[in-house]
């Protein structure tokens, strides 16, 4: 099967420091591909490059066969690749519903319409409610996004990513900063998303990663040192030495 996302020899340097160093990986349609690695391994930079927030110095990114290396973030979202943020980034002054409805609006019709009120648009709100329902936030629709709890904001991030209509979601530490209960709920949610979406997941919570991932890549100093199913990666001596260390032994 052709991979949905294919990355070849991707590079990015800040000065002399190679943050992404010859990274190649494939993500098959429908799989959850986790990217793990110690702090400073270049995971977030890689997500920036994949989402179009940062330019790559070399290499190639293909989405469903199309070369998207030179495309900006907006063009990639339109082609079905959306991201969530490690540090929650929402429209805090907007209602929960409007946060999601804007993502629906972005892919349905021109937004150069100036006179008709948008707040009551049933089609946008309907699709937004469906996304909220899926992440379990339907009862919060009318609340201000800024007033949600941290865990709920993480759920809202997922709802917004879903509402973009993207096939491939890049999730940058969706569990960051959540407590055990919130984290369990989000893991359940990610498992549910797996059924319909291809996911690239960056996450520090190893229990969650091993529970969710179909395949994973281990990033150390900007290089992929191992890639494969979780069991194979867990057994890989280089990974054990470099990353999992004593903890996982």
User: What does the binding site for other proteins look like in residue numbers (CB under 8 A)?
Assistant: 51, 53, 72-74, 77-78, 82-83, 85, 89-95, 98, 102-103, 105-107, 109-119, 121, 160, 163-164
Phi, psi (degrees; rounded to nearest 5) at 234: -60, -35
Q: Are 209 and 216 in contact (CB under 8 A)?
A: yes
- Cβ of residue 105: shortest distance to other proteins, in angstroms? 6
Residue 107 sits at the vertex; the CA angle it makes with 101 and 110, to the nearest 5 degrees, is 95
Q: Which helix (H) or strand (E) holds 163?
A: helix 150-163
SS3 label, residue 167: coil
In the bound state with other proteins, the residue whose beta carbon lies nearer, of 77 and 216, is 77
- Cβ of residue 89: shortest distance to other proteins, in angstroms? 5
- Cβ of residue 128: shortest distance to other proteins, in angstroms? 12
In the bound state with other proteins, the residue whose beta carbon lies nearer, of 39 and 110, is 110
SS3 label, residue 21: strand
In the bound state with other proteins, the residue whose beta carbon lies nearer, of 40 and 109, is 109
- Cβ of residue 61: shortest distance to other proteins, in angstroms? 17
Q: Which residue has the tokens 């209602």?
A: 95
- Cβ of residue 161: shortest distance to other proteins, in angstroms? 8
In the bound state with other proteins, the residue whose beta carbon lies nearer, of 24 and 88, is 88
Q: Which helix (H) or strand (E) holds 216?
A: strand 215-220
Q: Compute and round to an integer the Cα radius of gyration of the chain.
A: 18
In the bound state with other proteins, the residue whose beta carbon lies nearer, of 76 and 215, is 76
SS3 label, residue 242: helix
In the bound state with other proteins, the residue whose beta carbon lies nearer, of 41 and 102, is 102
Q: Are 168 and 81 in contact (CB under 8 A)?
A: yes
């Amino acid at each position: 099967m052709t991979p949905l996302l294919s990355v070849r020899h991707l590079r990015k340097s800040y000065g002399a420091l190679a943050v992404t160093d010859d990274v190649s990986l494939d993500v098959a349609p429908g799989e959850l591909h986790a990217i793990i690695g110690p702090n400073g391994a270049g995971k977030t930079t890689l997500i920036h490059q994949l989402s179009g927030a940062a330019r790559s110095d070399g290499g190639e990114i293909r989405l469903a066969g199309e070369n998207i290396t030179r495309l900006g973030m907006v063009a990639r979202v339109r082609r079905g690749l959306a991201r969530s943020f490690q540090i929650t980034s929402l429209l805090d002054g907007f209602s929960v519903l409007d946060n999601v409805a804007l993502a629906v609006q972005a892919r349905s019709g021109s937004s150069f319409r100036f006179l008709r009120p948008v707040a009551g648009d049933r089609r946008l709100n309907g699709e937004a409610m469906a996304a909220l329902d899926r992440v379990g936030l339907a009862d919060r629709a009318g609340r201000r996004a800024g007033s949600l709890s941290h865990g709920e904001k993480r759920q809202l991030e997922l709802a917004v990513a879903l509402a973009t209509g993207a096939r491939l979601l890049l999730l940058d530490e969706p569990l960051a900063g959540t407590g055990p209960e919130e984290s369990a709920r989000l893991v359940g949610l990610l498992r549910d998303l797996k059924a319909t979406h291809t996911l690239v997941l960056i996450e520090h919570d190893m229990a969650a990663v091993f529970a969710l991932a179909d395949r994973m890549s281990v990033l150390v100093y900007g290089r992929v040192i191992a890639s494969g199913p979780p069991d194979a990666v867990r057994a890989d001596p280089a990974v054990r030495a470099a990353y999992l260390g004593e903890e996982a032994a």
